[in-house]
Copies of this chain bind each other. A is one copy, B any other.
Amino acid sequence: MALKSIDLNSDVGESFGPYTLGLDEEVIPLISSANIACGYHAGDPAVMRRTVSLALKHGVGLGAHPGLPDLVGFGRRAMEVSLEEIKDFVACQIGALQAVAALQGARLRHVKPHGALYNMAVKTPQIWDAVAQVMAGLDDRLILFVLAGADRGELEAIGRRRGIRIGFEFFADRAYNPDGSLVSRKLPGAVIHDHGVVAAKVLKLVNEGKVTAVDGSDIDLRADTICVHGDNPQAVQLVKQIRAALSAAGVAVAAPQPTA
């Protein structure tokens, strides 16, 4: 009998020069996939090296976390960029991190766009496609993390067309609309602060493939990876609680098991 398992991913490596951001030392041992900043929205070459090293030490899968070229805005401000520009940005960021990983004898496992780039892709799936095209050209074993939800068929089609695997991502602390999309952060209740509720949602997702939407209805939501955070002590505490809940339920935390 196969053990159930789920991936936990977190954004890490977002320090820069003299600046420290995130509790990477604490959260990396708790996750199975590390989304490592590549220098455009955060991170620098030394931070990339140290983060790869830390992830490898804990057996955590390495992933590129490419963002828009906007350090002061942390890649959170949407920019009017073409698909060609996005492909160029993403290629250079993945390539740089591939080199950093190669120097430590490792390779990348996944790619998860950051911040505004991720949000732009959710609205404009051609961006997912552009990222997938770059990934396929660099290493077709790479898994693209995308938002699980409304447009699963379209995203799976992108994966098939480009020949790469898609990993669907669940946001444990976010409320969902009945159509599977995230409730806008501008609305009250968009972010769930009760750790027990979040852990219960994770278990329900893993065990039943369902999430309870804001209207109370249960919707189907299959996911391969759960996004957690390590940017403050409370966030790290939540990850520990999620791991404990998973462990108690006999669910392993492990490298991505994407849809075939």
Among A45, A84, A100, A102, chain B packs the most CB atoms within 10 A around the CB of A45
Point out the residue from B49, B71, B116 that lies within 8 Å of A17, measured CB to CB. B71
Cβ of A61 under 8 Å from chain B = no
Cβ of A192 under 8 Å from chain B = no
Q: Report B-chain residues with C-beta under 8 Å of the C-beta of A84.
A: 46
Query: Do A92 and B45 touch across chains, with their CB atoms under 8 A apart?
Result: yes
Bound together, the chains give a CA A69 to CA B94 distance in angstroms of: 19
Report the minimum CB–CB distance from A36 to chain B (whole Å). Answer: 12
Q: Report B-chain residues with C-beta under 8 Å of the C-beta of A19.
A: 16, 19-21
Cβ of A193 under 8 Å from chain B = no
Report the minimum CB–CB distance from A79 to chain B (whole Å). Answer: 5
Report the minimum CB–CB distance from A84 to chain B (whole Å). Answer: 7
Query: Do B44 and A103 touch across chains, with their CB atoms under 8 A apart?
Result: no
Q: Report B-chain residues with C-beta under 8 Å of the C-beta of A97.
A: 95
Binary interface encoding of chain A residues 83-113 relative to chain B, with 1 for a CB under 8 A from any of its CBs, else 0: 0110011011111111110110000000000
Query: Do B102 and A72 touch across chains, with their CB atoms under 8 A apart?
Result: no
Q: Report B-chain residues with C-beta under 8 Å of the C-beta of A18.
A: 14, 21, 42, 74
Query: Do A80 and B78 touch across chains, with their CB atoms under 8 A apart?
Result: yes
Query: Do A91 and B100 touch across chains, with their CB atoms under 8 A apart?
Result: yes
Point out the residue from B73, B77, B80, B100 that lies within 8 Å of A92, measured CB to CB. B100
Cβ of A137 under 8 Å from chain B = yes
Cβ of A39 under 8 Å from chain B = yes
Query: Do A103 and B134 touch across chains, with their CB atoms under 8 A apart?
Result: yes
Q: Report B-chain residues with C-beta under 8 Å of the C-beta of A14.
A: 18
Query: Do B88 and A94 touch across chains, with their CB atoms under 8 A apart?
Result: no
Query: Do A91 and B79 touch across chains, with their CB atoms under 8 A apart?
Result: no
Cβ of A1 under 8 Å from chain B = no
Binary interface encoding of chain A residues 1-43 relative to chain B, with 1 for a CB under 8 A from any of its CBs, else 0: 0000000000000101111110000000000000000010010
Q: Would you list 15 pairs from A and B whose C-beta atoms are within 8 A, ordered by A residue?
A: A18-B21, A19-B19, A44-B72, A44-B88, A45-B89, A45-B91, A71-B71, A73-B79, A77-B79, A77-B81, A78-B79, A91-B96, A94-B99, A102-B137, A103-B138
